[in-house]
Amino acid sequence: MSTLRFKMVETAFGKKPSDVKIPEGRPSEYFAMYVFNREKMFKYLSPDVYAKLINVIDTGSTLDRNIADQVAAGMKRWAVEMGVTHYTHWFAPLTEGTAEKHDSFIEHDGKGGVIEEFSGKLLVQQEPDASSFPNGGIRNTFEARGYSAWDPSSPAFIVDDTLCIPTIFIAYTGESLDYKAPLLKALRAVDKAAVDVCRYFNPDVKKVFAYLGWEQEYFLVDEGLYAARPDLLLTGRTLMGHDSAKNQQLEDHYFGAIPTRVAAFMKELEIEALKLGIPVKTRHNEVAPNQFELAPVYEECNLANDHNMLIMSLMRKIARNHGFRVLLHEKPFKGVNGSGKHNNWSLGTDTGLALMSPGKDFTSNLRFVTFVVNTLMAVYRHNGLLKASIASASNAHRLGANEAPPAIISSFLGSQLSAVLKHIKESEPESFQSLSGKTGMKLDIPQIPEILVDNTDRNRTSPFAFTGNRFEFRAVGSEANCASAMIVLNSAVAEQLTEFKAAVDGRIANGEEKDAAILSVIREYIKICEPIHFDGNGYSDEWKEEAARRGLDCETSVPLIYDNYLKEDSIRMFESTGVMNRKELEARNEVKWETYTKKIQIEARVLGDLALNHIVPVATKYQSALIDNVYKMHEIFPADKADRLTVRNVELIEAIATHTAFIKGHVDSMVEARKVANRIADEREKAIAYHDTVYPALEEIRYHIDKLELIVDDQMWTLPKYRELLFIR
């Protein structure tokens, strides 16, 4: 290893878990200490204001201005007591991160001094100067105004000296410019549709919640090494790097002992997460070296999503305290597993029913089957759209590779649930009718065990797997905002449940008994959505062929996958559920295509620079040393002996010449391809050009660089190699 690279490793500090300051008391005592939760609301608000705010939170009704002032005052009192000086509206624009603009509480007091002020107006609504957030043309310069508005269903929290207020971000003309606004609409839609269906079984249900439990995967690398890799720094992934002789072949990292420095990082992260009310529970090593996973206990979907956004920024911050950088990119290293973010999703009622869990009696099992089958129908009808919801330039490296969900959405059910559905499908509709009525218990539905344990449940190749009491959407990228997937899933299920209700009501109106009507519709659905059900190996080539025969979306080009958002079926689904309209969908797609283009564009620039400024000069320098050696060998040995002794070096000289020539040639043609693509005005066409003509050059260039890495003297190679980046000491 070059001394330069060696020094970089030395800069990392060696913190131990015992170096992390543990707060006083047990986790249950400091949990949510930085959150303005119900307990603090109760303490800092008058009983009347508290009751009204809770009502707003629970029912989603609007907050009256007068109340807002009093809530703001209480919130400020709490925050100031906690040492807070600033506040910010915290929102998720159409980038991957969150945005915030901090203002202090300070206002003139009219007597030459200042006082801390925070009015209801400032709490409820603000106008961030946000004309440079992506908006897909919705906010042209004439209407370049958007505002952020408080989401009372997600509690305010404190980070450092700042009170953060979760908000939605919308244009003055009403269109959503963020992820939260459509997510809240999707959750409202699924709530309403699911409550209506629930009432067939349990008339007292008033609200249905969507739950989300995310599992966040990530890599850690030493800060010094990270800083010496411009590609990691600028693109989040390594654009070059030969496999380390050892990477994950031995699978010795998975669930292995956590290195001390990493354990110290995790410990601090967990403490800070708990203080912010994030119920983190699980931590372990992942499959790849330096790869780890963190998961909380599941929560209501909107809150869980905010918590995921928050934890990603918390991770970035805390990693620095330990001499690490956290990599949230889906594929930081070639040849090593990438990172995803499983989204565990289910529905549950205000009365405590888990709608994706089988129960003890006929009614609860019929309800269970109803919700599972409607979910499958939604996933089937919108499988291309669901894929679009998780597609990105970075996640494209994972999808379809033999390590992650394939680029085709299908659903794994396991043998027990499959058997139940098969039984219903094959039973005679007449039996539903004749067996129902007073003796409804005898309806022809097989016994479903209360807990569906299936030994094939660990089918990791399925992108949308049923896992006993929930579905696990595994194709979500590690860097993504989960809301993108959750918007599509929840609104598609809402649409589906609404249609189901209409179909069942139609049958009831025609004189069918309720349970029989439900079973008849379910039976039809099971047949229709059969193509989405696949329990086999999702990585196999046979599946790709089979999926195409079944009519599932098999597109792999990300810019084309985004077309799914603008299909008439999708627009109808989003509009009928009130989640997004055509104009919003069109604008958001512009943003998606533009983002895709920019990502590839940056990668192409960075790789071009590195190739010409780092790799080629170093390779040429080593080549010159070899040439020098060959000449000198000929000076001291007779010609034929010198020839024999320098054969290998001459081969290397030639190999270096060939690889550097290819690199230069490919960089030139990549620059040319970029120029051509940049002249395209249409964002979709441009993204397609980047996908088809620029991206392939990245792979070509990398191939030759990785070959050179094996040839060139290790002392000379300036960039840290995989074996250095991937193994934390």
Q: Are strands 162-171 and 86-91 parallel, antiparallel or unpaired?
A: parallel
As given in the structure block, the two tokens for residue 30 are: 């400091």
User: What is the distance between the alpha carbons of residues 646 and 688, in angstroms, rounded to a whole number?
Assistant: 48
Residue 397's binding partner among Mg ion, ligand ADP, none (Cβ under 5 to 8 angstroms by kind) is none
How big is the site for ligand ADP, counted in residues (CB under 6 A)? Answer: 14
Is the CB of 182 or the CB of 213 nearer to ligand ADP? Answer: 213
DSSP 8-state assignment for residue 295 = E
Q: Which residue has the tokens 């985004």?
A: 562
User: In terms of Cα–Cα distance, which of 115, 150, 135, 195 is closest to 36?
Assistant: 150
* Contact residue for ligand ADP among 148, 290, 346, 478 (CB under 6 A): 346
Q: Enumerate residues 431-470 that contact Mg ion by CB under 5 A.
A: none
The neighbouring-strand residues paired with 215 are: 342
Which residue of this chain has its Cβ atom nearest to ligand ADP in the complex? 213
**Cα 655 to the chain's mean position, in Å?**
42
Residue 581's binding partner among Mg ion, ligand ADP, none (Cβ under 5 to 8 angstroms by kind) is none
Give min distance, CB of 370 to ligand ADP, in A: 17
Strand stretches in 97-243, DSSP E: 99-104, 106-108, 114-116, 125-126, 146-150, 157-159, 162-171, 208-222
Inter-residue contact 723 to 245 (CB < 8 Å): yes
User: What is the distance between the alpha carbons of residues 131 and 141, in angstroms, rounded to a whole number?
Assistant: 8
Inter-residue contact 163 to 84 (CB < 8 Å): yes
Is the CB of 466 or the CB of 596 nearer to Mg ion? Answer: 466
Window contacting ligand ADP (CB under 6 A); options: 20-28, 211-219, 325-333, 527-535: 211-219
Give min distance, CB of 234 to ligand ADP, in A: 32
User: What is the distance between the alpha carbons of residues 463 and 458, in angstroms, rounded to a whole number?
Assistant: 12
User: In terms of Cα–Cα distance, which of 269, 240, 495, 228 is closest to 282?
Assistant: 269
Window contacting Mg ion (CB under 5 A); options: 69-77, 140-148, 283-291, 341-349: 341-349
Is the CB of 200 or the CB of 345 nearer to ligand ADP? Answer: 345
Task: Give the other-Cβ count within 10 Å of 160's Cβ.
Answer: 12
Window contacting ligand ADP (CB under 6 A); options: 188-196, 344-352, 421-429, 516-524: 344-352
Give min distance, CB of 474 to Mg ion, in A: 7
User: What is the distance between the alpha carbons of residues 479 and 373, in angstroms, rounded to a whole number?
Assistant: 30
Is the CB of 214 or the CB of 695 nearer to ligand ADP? Answer: 214
* Contact residue for Mg ion among 307, 342, 592, 599 (CB under 5 A): 342
Residue 695's binding partner among Mg ion, ligand ADP, none (Cβ under 5 to 8 angstroms by kind) is none
What's the one-letter identity of residue 91? F
User: What is the distance between the alpha carbons of residues 207 and 191, in angstroms, rounded to a whole number?
Assistant: 6
Window contacting Mg ion (CB under 5 A); options: 221-229, 254-262, 337-345, 513-521: 337-345
Give min distance, CB of 474 to ligand ADP, in A: 9
Inter-residue contact 212 to 296 (CB < 8 Å): no
Window contacting ligand ADP (CB under 6 A); options: 103-111, 339-347, 434-442, 572-580: 339-347
Is the CB of 340 or the CB of 608 nearer to ligand ADP? Answer: 340
Q: Enumerate residues 248-307 that contact ligand ADP by CB under 6 A.
A: 282, 295-298
What's the one-letter identity of residue 357? S
Task: Give the other-Cβ count within 10 Å of 717's Cβ.
Answer: 20
Q: Enumerate residues 347-366 that contact ligand ADP by CB under 6 A.
A: 354
Is the CB of 268 or the CB of 403 nearer to Mg ion? Answer: 403
User: What is the distance between the alpha carbons of residues 98 and 343, in angstroms, rounded to a whole number?
Assistant: 19
Residue 11's binding partner among Mg ion, ligand ADP, none (Cβ under 5 to 8 angstroms by kind) is none
Which residue of this chain has its Cβ atom nearest to Mg ion in the complex? 342
Give min distance, CB of 406 to Mg ion, in A: 17
Q: Binding marks (x or -) toward ligand ADP, 454..493, rule CB under 6 A?
A: ---------------xx-----------------------
Window contacting ligand ADP (CB under 6 A); options: 56-64, 73-81, 207-215, 382-390: 207-215
Determine if 344 is a binding residue for ligand ADP (CB under 6 A): yes
User: In terms of Cα–Cα distance, which of 689, 381, 672 is closest to 557?
Assistant: 689
Is the CB of 215 or the CB of 231 nearer to Mg ion? Answer: 215
User: What is the distance between the alpha carbons of residues 251 and 269, in angstroms, rounded to a whole number?
Assistant: 26
Give min distance, CB of 472 to Mg ion, in A: 5
Give min distance, CB of 283 to ligand ADP, in A: 10
The neighbouring-strand residues paired with 102 are: 88
Task: Give the other-Cβ count within 10 Å of 86's Cβ.
Answer: 18
User: What is the distance between the alpha carbons of residues 87 and 165, in angstroms, rounded to a whole number?
Assistant: 8
Contact residues: Mg ion, CB under 5 A: 342
Q: Which residues bind ligand ADP (CB under 6 A)?
A: 211, 213, 215, 282, 295-298, 344-346, 354, 469-470
